[in-house]
Amino acid sequence: MKISVIYVSQTGNTGEAAEYIQDGILAKHPFIQVKLMNIRENEVDMDFLVHSEAVVFGTPVYFSSMSWELKRWFDQSFQIDLSGKLGAAFVTSQSLAGGVDTTIMEVLRHMLVKGMLVFSGTGHDPAHKFQIGAVGIGKDIEHSSGQFERFGECIAQTSIKLFGR
Ligand SMILES: Cc1cc2nc3c(=O)[nH]c(=O)nc-3n(C[C@H](O)[C@H](O)[C@H](O)COP(=O)(O)O)c2cc1C
């Protein structure tokens, strides 16, 4: 099984969150191949992406929206078939009131348009706080490490449930 983590990070916070998600995926499922791909560094590996069962998208919140680099990636990748894959979103921001939910919903809308299945958290589990996606505050990103790790673990579990090992 393969899981792609595609993200934008200018000052490192979202990249660090991506690493916590990777740690969470691998903690109980070390057989999963995970690839972190920073759009700003042109790291998107198309072959790995199209063969991934799940794709996790991450962005800093810019003016209550996704970063323009991720929006551009979505706009330019309309020919990439991600239909039927599991999708999930995470963001980092300056503030919890800074537009995290609107940004996550924006990313989820792009997943829906691409025909992806959307991972929305598992509301019955009190061990985590994410409902529609994972969120971390940039200047204190380590504080959210446990949530991002749990997010990764849940994505891995759901992927295995849907697609098998
Ligand atoms: C141009 C710009 C716009 C931003 N707009 C918001 C915003 O609307 N709300 C918010 O909470 N944080 C905002 N931030 C803060 C970033 O979302 C936050 O610092 C984030 O963790 C940066 O991620 P990075 O280190 O991966 O680049 C903005 C930052 C920049 C540079």
Identify the CATH number of the domain in which residue 105 sits: 3.40.50.360
Query: By residue range, what is the domain housing residue 28?
Result: 2-163
Residues facing residue 2 across a β-bridge:
33
- Residues touching ligand 1 (Cβ under 6 Å) are 9-15, 60-64, 92-95, 98-99, 138
14 Cβ contact list (under 8 Å, min separation 6): 7, 8, 58, 59, 60, 90, 91, 92
Q: What's the longest Cα–Cα distance across the chain?
A: 39
Question: C-alpha dihedral over 97, 130, 92, 103, to 10 degrees?
Answer: -70
Question: Which ligand 1 atom is the nearest neighbour of the CA of 17?
Answer: 26
pLDDT of residue 122: 63
What number of other Cβ atoms are within 10 A of residue 2's Cβ?
Answer: 17
Find the 68 Cα to ligand 1 centroid distance in Å: 12
**How many domains does the structure of the chain reveal?**
1
Mean pLDDT by 10 residues, the chain (165 residues): 98 98 97 98 97 98 98 95 98 97 97 94 69 93 95 95 91
Out of 20, 94, 101, mutate this one to test ligand 1's pocket (max ligand atoms within 8 Å of CB): namely: 94
